A and B are shown apart, each in its own frame.
Chain A
Amino acid sequence: MTGFLLRRALGAAVTLLAISVIIYVVFYAAPGNVAQISCGPRCSPAQVQQVADQLRLDDPLYLRYWHFLQGIFVGQDFSTGTALQHCDAPCLGFSYQTDQQVTQLILTKLPATASLALGAMVLWLILGVGTGVLSAWRRGRPTERILTGITLAGTATPVFVIGLVLMIVVCGQLQWLPFPQYVPFSDDPEQWAWNLLLPWLSLALIEAAKYARLTRASMLETLAEDHVRTFRAYGVGERSIIGRHALRGAVAPVIALNANDFGSMFGGAVLSETLFGIPGLGRELVHAVNVVDLPVVVGMVLVTGFFVVLANAVADVLYAVADRRVVLS
């Protein structure tokens, strides 16, 4: 088990390193004046020169990357023109346009994103797996056909379309809910949940469709396997075959997909956040892209990669604890 954990951790570290190399190269070796882009359009030539020094643009690319990596692990100093600023260990760079450390910026936006992701995940797992089990159980009957149609429509609907429609119908026409306005959990938990209800629901409905299809497909695949035939031949009832044997086969793929989705969502549910005005990482990223705040963009992508890799590793370990065969193979 320890060997497996070590191997898994090492694998995750290598993937993260690969991500950082690729991202750094793609964004900082791109054509165009990186210093000008990073600094923003209103920078004076002197300021641009300062940024160029800061990013060590005269150094070869691998040295620049090494410097960047150092920032992440031991921190680095930034001169903002007027003062020298120290950027602590996980230092992802400095946003010259907003005069802020990227790490700080990300930390302030993280709670909103986490709120959205966590709530939506609970909802989509319940809805999606439940629907999947139901359609596998009622396979070949009208119930399954209807559910299959609904889930197919769900996977075909972009989240911003359903979010927009829900918002207009529920908040605009019916006026059951106020138009969502993010309230931090620490301010007022009740208002927090109330205002996130619609974003959660719209995200969960779309995601649930994916999970329902995956659950159903894995269960049907298991149902066609030989060991299910064995239990049928021994008089084991349908309920036990569905609930015990078929569902068990869906656990691994659902965990894997969920880890990926949950990790990605931590990098920002870009569309939902923009649509519902939730001040999270996703909306920040859209803003940074629009104003071409390069350090923020790079930092955000790296953080997203970190969450995805972390979530996948955690899911693997959790799954390995449940199923020791994984460790052996």
Chain B
Amino acid sequence: MSLVEVDGLTVEFGDLRAVDTLSFRLEEGAALGVVGESGSGKSTVASALLGLHRGTGARVTGSVRVAGTDVQEADDDALRRLRGGTAAMVFQDPLSSLDPYYAVGDQIAEVYRVHSGASRRAARARAVDVLDRVGIPDAARRARSRPHEFSGGMRQRALIAMALACEPALLVADEPTTALDVTVQAQILDLLHSLRQETGMGLLLVTHDVGVAAESVDDVLVMRHGRAVERGTVADVLGAPSAAYTKELLGAVPRVDAARPVRADAAGDVLLEATDLRREFGRGKRAFAAVDGVSLTVRSGETLGIVGESGSGKTTLGRMLVGLLEPTGGQVLLSGTRADAGVQIVFQDPVSSLNPRRSVGESVADPLRARGDKEVRGRVEELLERVGLDPAHYGRYPHEFSGGQRQRVGIARALAAEPRIIVCDEPVSALDVTTQAQVTGLLRELQDELGLALVFIAHDLAVVRQVSDRVAVMRKGRVVEYGTVDEVYGAPQDPYTRQLLAAVPALDPGVAARRRSARRELAAA
């Protein structure tokens, strides 16, 4: 008997078929990665394993057996025993997944008591045990803290501790590291790896990130539109994919070890020069500098990548470069004169960057009209076509477009002002990898054609390597490393840059294993 047996599973929400006749097995102690882009139904599969669709109105057919329990047929009590007892789940967002009002230790104890019937005191002791096991320092004291007092990575550790509390046979992890920084992601994946080796529990890892799967599992199941596209060992599927979709997916994944082709005419004149930029938020004792003394230049026709983890100040820096935020100190000089015109921005969130109540054509026309142009329609249609949209869609509203298309509209709007520099603030981080590749491709085309300078801000080291000529690595408001792509990625000088690069998941399981031991050494050093 396998640990997980899924046969002909179909899950429907109203008219939407999220999972379509899916079947797979997971043996005891094995690890399976379910990989797919948004809308592939991968998370729905994870929920179905624990019967989380019961009572929600979703239609579930087919059979799901976990450790011998038929999830579909089990009565409520049996299902409750399964949940947390036999199979435990770790969710994506570690902040919202814990009750903000209770101590972390108490929440773990509560779950433990449900399944073990232990005394309050014994349950608390167990909570401290598992917190210690997942690497929370000073676990006995930290068990009394509440979730907001933990960092993102610590919260995810606490959730894993909750999962461990009842020694389940199966751990279901739904995008467990998506909300985390890359260095923290590496720590969590390493933790999952070592726990699996110690306890022998099975792992079902749901992720959109092929690299994360390569790091953590033995087998991969690629999903698309609710169906299984390909199933095999990590080495087979990632090394020699057979399905066309898998090939397309892998082709789109940006690789941290592959640079963009060197361009002959990359750097031209200096267009923008930022000197000693500072920006503080808050006042008095609570004041802190989000950007703390940053100097850099942008040349025509080049792409400057700015890479950093959350809280590094990269977005604040970008807003100052565009002129949306006044610097507290230092200055931004544009071609020798202080001016805001000529720099435009493309935002991260394709939802909030367009006014939902105005047609996309009107949004793109804004800079033209503000300049005083009367006949704008022709020009807007030209721009829409240039970014790969149908010019006939002038009158449509943002909600009628997909995320990638909305980013294209954002790019068209930025182009309308005829800037010399465009700051792209995480322009692809909300998109699926295949769409990501299309949008970065478009940006590169436009750059070559118009001689634009791009400032590309992102947390994803691989994407930045793919698009940039030069890179600045930011940490805590400062630039810790600044140079050409090859210098920074090939021979990093700063220890933080090295740590970042070591944390990026590799697509090759062999490389992943080597990286893991390298990380252990870095941590020990």
Any A–B CB pair closer than 8 Å: yes
Interface residues of A (CB under 8 A from B): 225-227, 229-237, 240, 244-245, 248-249, 323, 325, 328
Chain A contacts for B101, CB-based, 8 A: 245, 248-249, 323
The proximity string for B residues 141-157 relative to A, scoring 1 for CB distances below 8 Å and 0 otherwise, is 00000101000000000
Among listed B5-13, B81-89, B249-257, B493-501, interface-contacting one: B81-89
Q: A237-B80, A323-B101 are in contact. Are A231 and B96 (CB under 8 A)?
A: no
> With an 8 A cutoff between CB atoms, is B50 at the interface?
yes
Among listed B60-68, B110-118, B371-379, interface-contacting one: B110-118
Q: Is the CB of B80 within 8 A of A227?
A: no
Interface residues of B (CB under 8 A from A): 50, 52, 79-85, 88-89, 91, 93, 96-102, 107, 110-111, 114-115, 146, 148, 159, 162
Q: Is the CB of B114 within 8 A of A234?
A: yes
Bound CA span A235–B80, Å: 4
The number of residue pairs between A and B whose CB atoms lie closer than 8 Å in the complex comes to 72
Q: Is the CB of B114 within 8 A of A325?
A: no
Chain A contacts for B159, CB-based, 8 A: 230
Bound CA span A233–B80, Å: 8
Chain A contacts for B89, CB-based, 8 A: 230, 233-234
Bound CA span A244–B96, Å: 17
Q: Is the CB of B98 within 8 A of A230?
A: yes
Chain B contacts for A232, CB-based, 8 A: 52, 83
11 A-B pairs in the complex with CB atoms less than 8 angstroms apart? A226-B97, A227-B96, A231-B110, A231-B111, A233-B83, A234-B84, A234-B162, A235-B79, A235-B115, A240-B110, A249-B101
Residue of B whose beta carbon sits closest to that of A227: B99
Smallest CB separation, A143 vs chain B (Å): 17
Partner of B97, one of A227, A240, A323, A328: A227
Bound CA span A176–B96, Å: 53
Bound CA span A225–B115, Å: 23
Residue of B whose beta carbon sits closest to that of A3: B285
Chain B contacts for A248, CB-based, 8 A: 99, 101-102
Q: Is the CB of B88 within 8 A of A230?
A: no
Bound CA span A233–B111, Å: 10
Residue of A whose beta carbon sits closest to that of B163: A234
- Given contact pairs A229-B97, A235-B79, A325-B146, a sample of 20 additional A-B residue pairs in the complex whose CB atoms are under 8 Å apart: A226-B93, A226-B97, A227-B97, A227-B98, A230-B99, A231-B107, A231-B110, A232-B52, A233-B83, A233-B91, A234-B84, A235-B80, A235-B81, A235-B83, A236-B114, A244-B110, A245-B99, A248-B101, A248-B102, A323-B101
Chain B contacts for A240, CB-based, 8 A: 110, 114
Smallest CB separation, A83 vs chain B (Å): 54
Chain B contacts for A229, CB-based, 8 A: 52, 91, 97
Bound CA span A102–B469, Å: 79
Bound CA span A285–B493, Å: 77
Chain A contacts for B107, CB-based, 8 A: 231
Q: Is the CB of B52 within 8 A of A225?
A: no
Bound CA span A207–B83, Å: 41
Q: Is the CB of B91 within 8 A of A230?
A: yes
Most B-side CB within 10 Å, residue of A233, A244, A323, A325 = A233
Residue of A whose beta carbon sits closest to that of B115: A235
Q: A226-B91, A325-B146 are in contact. Are A233 and B99 (CB under 8 A)?
A: no
Residue of B whose beta carbon sits closest to that of A236: B114
Chain A contacts for B110, CB-based, 8 A: 231, 236, 240, 244
Partner of A235, one of B82, B97, B99, B102: B82
Chain A contacts for B114, CB-based, 8 A: 234-237, 240
Chain A contacts for B146, CB-based, 8 A: 325
Smallest CB separation, B189 vs chain A (Å): 21
Residue of A whose beta carbon sits closest to that of B88: A234
In the A-B complex, the 9 residue pairs with the closest CB atoms: A234-B84, A235-B83, A235-B80, A226-B96, A235-B84, A234-B111, A227-B99, A248-B101, A233-B89
Bound CA span A231–B96, Å: 12
Q: A227-B100, A240-B110 are in contact. Are A233 and B52 (CB under 8 A)?
A: yes
Bound CA span A8–B83, Å: 45
Smallest CB separation, B85 vs chain A (Å): 6
Smallest CB separation, B160 vs chain A (Å): 12
